[in-house]
Amino acid sequence: MEQLSEYVPLPQTSTTVPLAFTVVQNHSGASDLILTQLIQLKSIFGRQLPKMPRPYITRLVFDRRHKSLILYLNPRGPPHSITNMATSPSPSPPGAMVGGICYRAYKNEKFAEIAFCAVQASQQVKGYGSVVMNLLKEQGLREGIEYFITYADNYAVGYFKKLGFTKGIT
Ligand code: ACO
């Protein structure tokens, strides 16, 4: 069997660490793997967004209209690579979960709302927040999404501005 993986160049040159990502969504036949991934991501959101009520985080992460883009370390991948786990031969997470973004797409209106965005504390300020947001923008294009909106914590406004978000709707 040939190993077929899709590698996309790292958005900006923020890190040389090989990474992998997946987009998952709860549904009636969701596998244990998907549920485990969502539970782990929910825990990261819970720790990193302490002012958000935990039941609210759980409700949206497991809501069947919400999707989550999840970023992993990928120790066996080539440097500067980001493997799309959807096209990788093994769907299992290759390394530790770094963080992710939970979002809901409104396809007819061509926009998506970002509900939660977080990176593990030990992995922050290494460029992974930029990587995950840029991957989400690429995912948005695949889903026909042209705009993203979010309600950002005051602390995180600088991060969103760096990633091209503005205060008004443009
Ligand atoms: N304020 C100002 N600028 C910031 C902040 C901040 N809080 N965080 C990151 N940046 C800047 C960085 O300096 C960097 O700019 P540079 O490219 O000029 O150096 C850029 O944003 C990207 O930085 P990364 O290292 O890629 O970001 P990181 O991996 O640290 O992730 C994140 C940023 C997701 C905000 C992370 O700090 C985190 O999880 N924080 C706790 C949870 C949180 O606040 N999430 C957002 C809440 S709003 C919501 O979820 C809808």
Q: Which atom of ligand 1 is nearest to the CA of 150?
A: 51
pLDDT exceeds cutoff 90 at 40 = yes
For tokens 């939660």, the residue is 116
Query: Across all residues in the chain, what is the average pLDDT?
Result: 88
**pTM, to two decimals:** 0.92
Least Cα distance to 63 among 93, 107, 117, 24 occurs for: 24
Characterize 132-153 residue by residue with b for buried, 16 or more Cβ atoms within 10 angstroms of its Cβ, and e for exposed.
Answer: bbbbbeebbeeeebeebebebe
Q: Which of 48, 60, 159, 162 to mutate to test the pocket of ligand 1 (most atoms within 8 A of CB)?
A: 159
Query: Sign (positive/negative) of CA torsion 12, 14, 16, 19?
Result: negative
Atom of ligand 1 nearest to the CA of 152: 48
* Cα 116 to ligand 1 centroid, rounded to whole Å: 12
Among 11-20, 79-88, 102-111, 142-151, which stretch is predicted with the lowest mean pLDDT?
11-20
Active site residue 113: yes
Residue 64 pLDDT class (50, 70, 90 cuts): very high
Residue 100 in contact with ligand 1 by CB distance below 6 A = no
Which residues neighbour 90 within 8 Å (Cβ) at sequence distance 6 or greater?
Answer: none
- How far, rounded to the nearest angstrom, does the alpha carbon of residue 113 sit from its chain's CA centroid? 13
pLDDT digits (tens, 9 = 90+) for 76-134: 888 888 999 988 877 788 999 999 999 999 999 999 999 999 999 999 999 999 999 99
How far, CA to CA in Å, does 157 sit from each of 19, 24, 50, 112, 167? 25, 26, 17, 18, 9
Predicted local confidence at residue 128, as pLDDT: 95
Report how far apart the first and last C-alpha atoms of the chain are (Å, whole number).
48
Average pLDDT value for residue range 18-43? 96
Confidence of residue 4 (pLDDT cuts 50, 70, 90): very low
Q: What angle do CA 17, 21, 22 make, to 5 degrees?
A: 170
Determine if ligand 1 sits within 6 Å of the CB of residue 127.
yes
Q: What is the mean pLDDT of residues 150-155?
A: 88
